[in-house]
Chains A and B, each alone.
Chain A
Amino acid sequence: MLSPQPAIQLDDVSKRFGSRWAVARLSYSLPAGRSLLLTGHNGSGKTTLLRMISTATFPTAGHIKIFGAETREKREELRHDVALLSHASFLYEDLTAAQNLTLVAEFLGLDQRKELVASLLERIGLTSRADSPVRQFSAGMRKRLTIARLLMKAPKLALFDEPFGELDPAGILQMENLLRELQAAGTTIVLATHLVEQGQALTQERLHLDQGRRENP
């Protein structure tokens, strides 16, 4: 059964960096279990919005509620349920792929970590490189490892910022299948991408941003 609370509730949300408003007075609501396509030109505020929803940063004004909980007040609890795949990989370059994933599993307090890490590495096709340091990885391999990092959390809300970038055609197909699997499992998804047609085929709602404001696409 879907949660009665919206997965994401934006109330007059603004975010300022210096004198520039990256997001300006944005209001929007996304029901739980639905998927949202976030579009807009470079610098339109997509990444900032995703970072605010993920609790990596907070609004300068307005409120964001995730499953009914205000992000600033309930950040600790929400961080267990929300995962972000961002431009930055969050990976440690000097640790191996397996060590990076094991570390996340340990921080999350998960059991049977060895099996979990092995199965995730197999799922993303990096089993043979499990013991290689991330520094030796290509951009596409890093992206796949970042996806495994996200899957480790089994989030209720998954945020994807340009997930198709740096992936080869096989990787893009894998990513599309992953997004469909997550949706089928009831995960709420927000997908920010410039590949609008591809994104629309994978999502149910659309929010277009222009200079931090909601606009008609």
Chain B
Amino acid sequence: MRKPRISLLRASWLVLRKDWMIEWRTRARLTALIFFSLSTLLLFSFAMGPDIEALRRHAPGYLWLALLFASVLSLGESFRVESENQALTGLVVTPVEPRAIFLGKVFGNASLLFGLSLVLLPVAVALYDIDLSRAPLTLLLVLFLGSVGISAPGIVYSAISANARARDVMLPLLLFPVLVPLLLAAVSATRFTLVPDAQDQLPGWLKLLTAFDLIYLSVGFLLFPKVAEED
């Protein structure tokens, strides 16, 4: 008798929901992530001094740097729970399709970063005097695409470095160079949702963000089984 199977989408949702449940049960980690990124924003604000114009101009960069640093914590944590008790192997032999694990973890991590960015936005308004009313929906789209863009390659590299001795060092070393085009696009797109976009550059940056997401979602989707399964 063949046993019932679940679809890739359902399995991805179950992985994502499982990660949310773990995050919710261990809220101390979530709190640490929020305070870490808030401190980053605050430090940049102090470092720049009272020059409001400069603060406003650099705000998108500071926001994305805070999210980038936070992502290293959240990505590392995402696979620490899978390393403990060899839970990842347990998932694979249950069986859970490794590509479902990839999709679930990418969107779980992206939702965490996106949620974090929503917490950071009002703080950025207070610290950097930015105006969110110009294109709020586009800004949310940029934050979402950027969060997915960090998470897609981030999950692959986090899985690769999970069992390494120097995993905390290895993850940013592998990840940050790959993220350079994404961060350029995210910072620029965020800037043009906050200030007038005289030369209509925003659509171009949005296209780059979308393309980056699609490329790394596809690459991760194809490669992740090799990473998750022992040979």
Q: What residues of chain A have their CB less than 8 Å away from a CB belonging to chain B?
A: 51, 54-58, 75-76, 79-82, 84, 86, 88-95, 99, 103-104, 106-111, 133, 153
Contact = CB atoms under 8 A, between A and B. Distances in A.
B94 A89 contact: no
B39 to A, nearest CB: 25
A90 B231 contact: no
Nearest to A106: B14
A109 B95 contact: no
Contacts of B96: 107
Contact of A88 (B4, B5, B81, B89): B89
B200 interface: no
B230 A91 contact: no
B84 interface: yes
Nearest to A59: B231
B26 interface: yes
Lowest 9 CB-CB distances: which A-B pairs, in order? A90-B90, A79-B95, A109-B4, A88-B86, A57-B230, A109-B6, A80-B3, A89-B85, A94-B25
**Interface residue SS majority, chain A:** loop
Contact of B87 (A92, A106, A107): A92
B5 A109 contact: yes
A104 B87 CA distance: 12
B95 A80 contact: yes
A107 B3 CA distance: 11
A84 B93 contact: yes
A153 B94 CA distance: 8
Contacts, number: 83
A56 B26 contact: no
Interface in B1-31: 2-6, 11, 14, 18, 21-22, 25-26
Given A90-B85, A107-B6, A95 B25 contact: yes
B3 A109 contact: yes
A93 B85 contact: yes
Given A106-B6, A107-B96, A108-B94, 15 more contacts: A58-B230, A58-B231, A76-B97, A80-B5, A80-B95, A82-B93, A89-B90, A90-B85, A92-B81, A94-B26, A95-B25, A106-B14, A108-B4, A108-B6, A133-B25
Contacts of B92: 56, 79
A108 B85 contact: no
21 contacts: A57-B230, A58-B231, A75-B95, A76-B97, A79-B92, A80-B2, A80-B5, A88-B89, A89-B85, A90-B86, A90-B87, A90-B89, A92-B22, A92-B85, A94-B22, A94-B25, A103-B14, A104-B94, A106-B14, A107-B96, A109-B6
